[in-house]
């Protein structure tokens, strides 16, 4: 489910629409605040010191909320600036610093080299959807990995943590682990939770490795991962309430691992994997405020109220509440967060424009909802596999959304639908050209891969052996041996090459899968696709793109044009084929907001492999609900609108002072500044930095690309188009209609080439046309009347006289003229270097950076902007409080416990002594519960285990049956020097075979999958009946047993304790709550 990549657009009203009555903005704010105050999010209790059974209740699945309403205002246009001014301001070119101060890539992508996909998740039966769609999750940044490219030395790798004292926990082991589901089912939920959080459930994240390498052994990694995955499971089960430290510690099965669980909790919390968004978080601020402090609080200024700025500010506000005690211990108040926004609205390049619906037919069921259309970020490109918008939109704000239908009809320039078979044939050729060009992409070095025991993790079991030497000790000892690998080259994961295999029509993003590129010769591959080779061309004929790729100014576009031209020598391409080919090129330019001749040949697809899964969706009633929710829930942030920043003074030292000056004369002194200023504004030089940004930063600003995607939005009285489809495309012709020259198509191919029927999201009949590539830039200078007339003629070529002479209302976006955006979103410029996105994210003293242009794994996307905000918040917190404190030793050795074991369970700082009255009382309760349980089990046996799930997936069954056939296909026509086909190559071919299989060929496997699901469903129903009967017997037997056995505490029989005592033997499950918005089954 998910999002397309249109990220920013400036709106200029057409001649047929007025500003519309928006009402009194202050009154609307008060109204929205009253709605918020009455909602569940405002009523969630403080859970920091709640009883542990209350923790379990807090993790129940949330009820469905009504949608959050949004306030919208117009965008700001600087009409005095022409498009030439959108070019970057002159910046000095010096060398980029080669090293980073800290390694902080906590916001890893779902396709991280650390991880293979869990066997719990089936290979996709359809192409995985794009993360870089029409809209700008992982705050990814300084991805300075410990890789083979690192210096080959045995020098100790610094740990990003500090030594600290032990905490005291009043928690029992396993309290957060449910007892009424089978261990393998609990493990399955934990693994799914990690995968839904962008983490490898079987391996340490790079930051976890750096943090723990000096504290745990390889054998202890398994237990750590079980704890970490368990904490993530708690969070995903109810993301409206933050996980408390006590709950997290309760995921440990032994008191010796309490400190490990606490450290893990700190890492997940700081890195933005848990307790982010609009969650009500545990806080001690109300209780601690009574104590007087000697210092005033620090101030953090966040520039920009888009998804990056609001995400960062909300996360900082949340973190400061959860770490309030640390600040009071330092003698100061928790810091204040101030957000400065130049516009009079929230959202930045996410802008839902209000529509006048009085003259249009309204959709049934839309009453009471706001009619709006997306002028900027629009599509959510999938909720699954870790998209943070899954938590925000579905888990917290409960916003209604609409799943786009992927079927797309392409109409030729004569208005007739293109033959689907020909369309598929040309698309295959286009994808093959992309695959061959991918040979020249940047090659990413492999990352560290420190794995746990997969079998034990799958079973939910901890490792029985713990080892005596830490990971660091083993690595350093190994590196000291003769001819041994240096630390940086030990335990590396496999090098993964990603190959383009398909294109997402809704977003223009290329979908890549692991494999080896261009293994087959071009003529042989074309014949396999279904093309007829030209006379005299044999199957050994191949393309030669090396000369084009090594040219001084080579770009993606120049090499792609060469590949298309060379294919003319292999197969007969018609003018229609060229129109089809260039429709796909326009779609790619839509995903990058720029002509593909301005894209880096090596880095154009730098985010490949980080796509989410699920259907593309759009928020009903306005995407801008998301930034409004972040700004106002669970409490209102200090956001100051119409505060345009003109100068930022910062310190090259992180502990220095900063000052932000606004055009309205307001000046704010700050300790830290977070800039989410769009890349286009940085290029334009609208904001002055004092001192000037260093050359290693300004050089990146110049090298990264930044383009324009614009929209033409037409509102009608009633729909005249095919409403059974949400998307349709139109092939555009060059000046010479029958041209076979690729270069003649670039100026026209992106003009209204794709249309979205957004009526289901807007509530009235609305069509939205895209102006991509060169057309996006041309829109900035073309009059509205001309653009609307052109769009109307395109529609008339398809629907004829059904199209009205004029729409009721029209909107034309001009993001390049928006002084707060200066364009739409970033791209890989021709001169881009591999680490430019990481360098863009790197702080300069006490000045931090966030935004879609600062995240390598998800650039140019809404979710990427949000994740970058989480990353920046993590960096600010570390600058304020320091790194995570880790007690030494982190895990107390078993043989050192002795008689003090009980003391360590409760109070780590107490010496060995006789059990306290409280611990003696607990021991009697435990013994009582154990005796009761044994009695019940002897009468009715163990509670029935839930049946294990089956892999009822037709594609998996098909791929197993056709594995050998696919392998043989890989070996046929293979190019020399490509080696034998690997498993990924076979999987790609199997996936293609599945897509090309007919309904009759798929049916046996679909029937078999349905039968497996049916069998599981029957077993599940039987299990539910057995469990219900068992639970009834349990209650009856327990009641009778308690009548004869009274619990004795403190040597005194207290009958009242019989009803008030805690039931230690049963813990409610988290994963089976009805109505959960989060699917932990993967």
**Mind listing the pLDDT tens digit for each residue in 1008-1030?**
888 888 888 888 888 888 888 98
Inter-axis angle of helices 999-1044 and 954-961, nearest 10: 120
pLDDT at 90 over 70: no
Identify the top-confidence range among 845-854, 908-917, 995-1004, 1069-1078: 845-854
How many Cα atoms within 13 Å fall on the side-chain side of residue 1082?
27
Name the residue with higher pLDDT: 611 or 376.
376
pLDDT at residue 724 tops 70: yes
pLDDT of 915: 54
For residue 76, is pLDDT > 70?
no
Q: Average the pLDDT over each of 16-20, 329-333, 446-450, 800-804 and give the range with the smallest value.
A: 16-20
Name the residue among 855, 863, 818 with its Cα closest to residue 626: 863
Q: What is the pLDDT at residue 376?
A: 97
- What mean pLDDT is predicted for residues 285-291? 62
Section 499-510 average pLDDT: 66
| pLDDT score, position 364 | 67
Cβ atoms 26, 529 nearer than 8 A: no
Distance CA 736, CA 218 (A): 66
Band of the pLDDT at 683, cuts 50, 70, 90? very high
Secondary structure of residue 655 in the 3-state scheme: coil
Dist CA 215 CA 202 (whole Å): 19
Residue 302's SS3 state is: strand
- The Cα angle at residue 698 between residues 692 and 704, in degrees rounded to 5: 155
pLDDT for residue 151 is more than 80: no
DSSP per position, 90-151 = P----PPPS--S-----S--TT-TT-PPPTTSPPPSSPPPPSSSB-------------TTS-
Cis preceding-peptide flag for 433 (omega within 30 of 0): no
Q: Are 139 and 310 in contact (CB under 8 A)?
A: no
Q: Where along the chain do its domains lie? A: 420-446+500-598, 954-1045
pLDDT range class, residue 70, cuts 50, 70, 90: very low
> Bridge partners of 134?
5
pLDDT tens-place string over residues 732-741: 999 888 888 8
- Whether 756 shows a pLDDT value over 50: the answer reads yes
Give the Å distances, CA to CA, from 796 to 720, 791, 793: 11, 9, 5
pLDDT band at 35; cut points 50, 70, 90: very low
**37 has pLDDT over 50:** no
Least confident of 81-90, 767-776, 835-844: 81-90
- Residue-wise pLDDT for 870-908, tens only, equals 999 999 999 999 999 999 999 988 765 543 444 444 444
Chain position carrying tokens 């999958």: 1009
Residue 513 to residue 499: CA distance in whole angstroms: 5
Mean pLDDT of 112-119: 35
Q: What is the pLDDT of residue 991?
A: 81
What is residue 159's predicted lDDT score, i.e. its pLDDT? 56
How far, in Å, are 65, 84, 680 from residue 827 at the CA level? 37, 18, 11
pLDDT at 44 > cutoff 90: no
Of 223-227, 289-293, 532-536, 673-677, give the lowest mean pLDDT range. 289-293
Residues 6+ apart with CB under 8 A from 25: 71, 73, 344
The residue whose two tokens read 């078993």 is 894
Report the pLDDT value the prediction gives residue 866, as an integer from 0 to 100: 98
Q: Which of 26-35, 184-193, 938-947 has the weakest average pLDDT?
A: 26-35
Confidence of residue 72 (pLDDT cuts 50, 70, 90): very low
Contact 509, 128 (CB under 8 A): no
Indicate if the pLDDT at residue 767 is higher than 80.
yes
pLDDT of 977 reads 58
Calculate mean pLDDT across residues 447-460: 93
- CA distance to 2, 149, 203, 442, 572, per residue, from 448 (Å): 31, 12, 9, 19, 48
The pLDDT value given to residue 517:
59
Following DSSP, what letter does each residue of 795-821 receive, concatenated?
HHHHHGGGS-SS-SEEEEE-GGGBTTT
Mean pLDDT of 819-845: 97
Is pLDDT larger for residue 827 or for residue 68?
827
Question: In sequence order, what E strands does 851-923 have?
Answer: 884-886
- d(CA 323, CA 327) in angstroms, rounded, equals 7
Please report, in angstroms and rounded to a whole number, the separation of the first and last CA atoms in the chain.
Answer: 14
Q: Which long-range CB contacts under 8 A does 442-446 form with residues at least 24 apart?
A: 442/602, 442/603, 442/606, 442/834, 443/495, 443/497, 444/113, 444/834, 445/145, 445/147, 445/148, 445/149, 445/495, 446/113, 446/147, 446/148, 446/492, 446/493, 446/494, 446/495, 446/496
The predicted pLDDT at position 707 comes to 96
What's the pLDDT at 1059?
Answer: 34
Average predicted confidence (pLDDT) for the chain: 80
Rank 18-22, 143-147, 482-486, 646-650 by mean pLDDT and report only the highest: 646-650
The predicted model gives 574-596 an average pLDDT of: 96
Residue 930: CB atoms within 10 Å: 12
| pLDDT bucket at 784, cuts 50 / 70 / 90 | very high
Which among 673, 852, 854 is positioned nearest to 307, based on CA atoms? 852
Q: Is the pLDDT of residue 429 over 50?
A: yes
What is the helix (H) or strand (E) element at residue 959, kind and residue range?
A: helix 954-961
pLDDT of 180 > 90? The answer is no
Encode pLDDT of 1023-1050 as tens digits.
888 888 988 898 999 888 888 888 876 5
Residues 6+ apart with CB under 8 A from 586: 508, 732, 749, 750, 753, 754, 772, 773
β-pairing verdict for 847-849 and 498-503: unpaired
Q: What's the pLDDT score for residue 711? A: 98
pTM for this one? Answer: 0.76
Tell me what pLDDT residue 127 has.
Answer: 38
State the burial class of residue 916 (Cβ atoms within 10 Å of its Cβ: 0-12, 13-18, 19+): middle
Q: Tell me what percent of the residues of the chain surpass a pLDDT of 70.
A: 75
pLDDT of 1077 higher than 60: no
Residue 789: in which H helix or E strand, if any? helix 784-799
HEC states along 500-553? EEEECCCCCCEEEEECCCCCECHHHHHHHHCCCECCCCCCCCCCCCHHHHCCCC
- Of residues 924 and 575, which shows the higher confidence score? 575
Calpha distance 118→107 (Å, rounded): 19
* pLDDT at residue 994 tops 90: no
What does the pLDDT read at residue 496?
A: 65
What integer pLDDT is reported at residue 369 of this predicted model? 80
Residue with the bigger pLDDT between 499 and 526: it is 526
In this structure, are residues 254 and 214 in contact, taking their beta carbons and an 8 Å threshold?
no
Per DSSP, 1082 falls in state -
């Amino acid at each position: 489910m998910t999002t397309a990549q249109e990220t920013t657009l400036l709106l200029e009203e057409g001649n047929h629409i007025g500003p519309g009555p928006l009402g009194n903005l202050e009154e609307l704010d008060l109204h929205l605040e009253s709605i918020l105050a009455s909602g569940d999010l405002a009523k969630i209790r403080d859970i920091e010191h709640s009883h542990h059974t209350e923790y379990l209740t807090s993790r129940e699945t949330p009820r469905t909320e009504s949608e959050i309403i949004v306030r919208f205002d117009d965008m700001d246009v600087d009409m005095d600036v022409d498009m030439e001014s959108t070019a970057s301001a002159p910046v000095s070119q010096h060398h980029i610093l080669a090293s980073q101060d800290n390694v902080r890539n906590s916001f890893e992508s779902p396709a991280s080299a650390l991880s293979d996909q869990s066997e719990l998740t089936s290979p996709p039966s359809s192409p995985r959807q794009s993360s870089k769609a029409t809209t700008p999750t992982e705050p990814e940044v300084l991805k300075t990995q410990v890789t083979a490219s690192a210096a080959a030395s045995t020098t100790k790798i610094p740990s990003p943590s500090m030594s600290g004292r032990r905490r005291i926990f009043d928690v029992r082991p396993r309290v957060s682990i449910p007892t009424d589901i089978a261990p393998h089912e609990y493990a399955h939920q934990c693994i799914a939770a990690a995968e839904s959080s962008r983490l490898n459930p079987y391996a340490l994240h790079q930051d976890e490795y750096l943090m723990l390498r000096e504290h745990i052994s390889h054998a202890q990694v398994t237990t750590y991962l079980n704890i970490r995955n368990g904490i993530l499971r708690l969070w995903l089960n109810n993301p409206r309430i933050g996980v408390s430290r006590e709950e997290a510690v309760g995921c440990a099965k032994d008191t010796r691992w309490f400190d490990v669980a606490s450290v893990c909790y700190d890492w997940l919390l700081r890195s933005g994997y848990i307790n982010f968004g609009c969650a009500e978080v545990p806080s001690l601020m109300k209780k601690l405020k009574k104590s007087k402090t000697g210092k005033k609080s620090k101030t953090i200024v966040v520039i920009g109220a888009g998804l990056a700025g609001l995400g960062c500010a909300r996360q900082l506000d949340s973190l400061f509440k959860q770490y309030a005690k640390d600040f009071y211990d330092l003698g100061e108040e928790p810091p204040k967060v101030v957000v400065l926004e130049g516009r009079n609205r929230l959202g930045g390049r996410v802008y839902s424009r209000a529509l006048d619906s009085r003259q249009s037919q309204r959709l049934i069921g839309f009453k009471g909802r706001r009619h709006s259309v997306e002028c900027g970020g629009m599509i959510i490109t999938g909720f699954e596999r870790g998209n943070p918008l899954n938590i925000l939109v579905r888990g917290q704000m409960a916003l209604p959304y609409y799943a786009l239908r992927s079927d797309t009809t392409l109409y030729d320039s004569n208005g007739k639908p293109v033959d689907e078979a020909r369309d598929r044939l040309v698309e295959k050729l286009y994808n093959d050209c992309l695959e061959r060009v991918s040979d020249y992409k940047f090659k990413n070095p492999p990352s560290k891969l420190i794995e746990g025991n997969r079998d034990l993790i799958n079973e939910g079991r901890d490792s029985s052996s713990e080892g005596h030497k830490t990971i660091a000790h083993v690595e350093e000892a190994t590196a000291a041996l003769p001819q041994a690998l240096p630390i940086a080259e030990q335990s590396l994961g496999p090098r993964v090459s990603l190959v383009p295999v398909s294109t997402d029509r809704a977003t223009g993003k290329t979908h890549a899968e692991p494999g080896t590129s261009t293994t087959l010769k071009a003529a042989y591959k074309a014949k396999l696709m279904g093309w007829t080779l030209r006379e005299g061309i044999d199957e050994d004929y191949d393309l030669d793109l090396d000369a084009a790729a090594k040219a001084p100014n080579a770009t993606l576009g120049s090499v792609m044009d060469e590949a298309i031209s060379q294919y003319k020598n292999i197969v007969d391409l018609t003018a229609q084929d060229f129109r089809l080919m260039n429709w796909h090129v326009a779609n790619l330019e839509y995903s990058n907001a720029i002509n593909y001749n301005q894209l880096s040949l090596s880095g154009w697809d730098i985010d490949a492999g980080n796509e989410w899964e699920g259907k593309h969706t759009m928020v009903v009633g306005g995407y801008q609900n998301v930034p409004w929710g972040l700004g106002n829930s669970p409490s209102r942030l200090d956001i100051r609108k119409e505060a345009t920043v003109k100068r930022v003074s910062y310190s090259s030292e992180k502990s220095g002072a900063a000052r932000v000056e606004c055009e309205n004369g307001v000046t704010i002194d700050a300790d830290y500044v977070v800039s989410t200023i769009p890349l286009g504004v940085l290029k334009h030089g609208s904001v002055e930095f004092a001192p000037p940004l260093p050359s290693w930063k300004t050089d990146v600003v110049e090298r990264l690309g930044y383009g324009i995607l614009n929209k033409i939005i037409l509102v009608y009285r009633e729909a005249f188009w095919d409403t059974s489809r949400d998307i349709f495309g139109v092939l555009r012709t060059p000046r010479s209609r029958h041209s076979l020259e690729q270069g003649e198509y670039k100026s026209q191919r992106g003009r209204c080439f794709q249309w979205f029927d957004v009526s289901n999201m807007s509530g009235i009949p609305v069509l939205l046309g895209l102006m991509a590539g060169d057309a996006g830039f041309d829109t900035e200078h073309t009059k509205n009347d001309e653009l609307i007339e052109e769009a109307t003629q395109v529609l008339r070529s398809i629907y004829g006289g059904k199209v009205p002479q004029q729409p009721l209302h029209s909107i034309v976006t001009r993001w390049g003229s928006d002084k707060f955006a200066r364009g739409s979103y970033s791209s890989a410029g021709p001169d881009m270097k591999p680490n430019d996105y990481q360098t863009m994210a790197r702080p300069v003293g006490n000045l931090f950076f966030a935004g879609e242009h600062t995240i390598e794994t998800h650039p140019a996307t809404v979710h990427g902007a949000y994740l970058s905000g989480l990353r920046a918040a993590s960096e600010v917190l570390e600058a304020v409080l320091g790194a995570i404190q880790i007690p030494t030793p982190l895990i107390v050795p078993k043989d050192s416990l002795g008689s003090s074991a009980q003391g360590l369970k409760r109070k780590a700082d107490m010496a060995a002594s006789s059990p306290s009255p409280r611990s003696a009382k607990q021991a009697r309760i435990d013994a009582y519960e154990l005796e009761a349980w044994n009695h019940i089990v002897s009468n009715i046996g163990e509670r029935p285990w839930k049946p294990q799930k089956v892999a009822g997936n037709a594609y998996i069954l098909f791929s197993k049956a056709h594995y050998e056939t696919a392998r043989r296909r890989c070996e046929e026509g293979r190019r020399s020097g490509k080696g034998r086909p690997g498993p990924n190559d076979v999987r790609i071919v199997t996936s293609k075979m599945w897509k090309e299989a007919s309904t009759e060929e798929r049916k046996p496997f679909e029937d078999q999958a349905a039968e497996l699901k049916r069998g599981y469903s029957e077993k599940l129903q039987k299990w539910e009946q057995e469990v219900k009967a068992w639970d009834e017997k349990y209650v009856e037997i327990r009641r009778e047993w308690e009548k004869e056995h009274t619990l004795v505490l403190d040597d005194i029989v207290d009958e009242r304790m019989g009803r008030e005592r805690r039931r230690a033997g049963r813990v409610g499950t988290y994963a089976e709550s009805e109505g959960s918005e989060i699917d932990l089954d993967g």
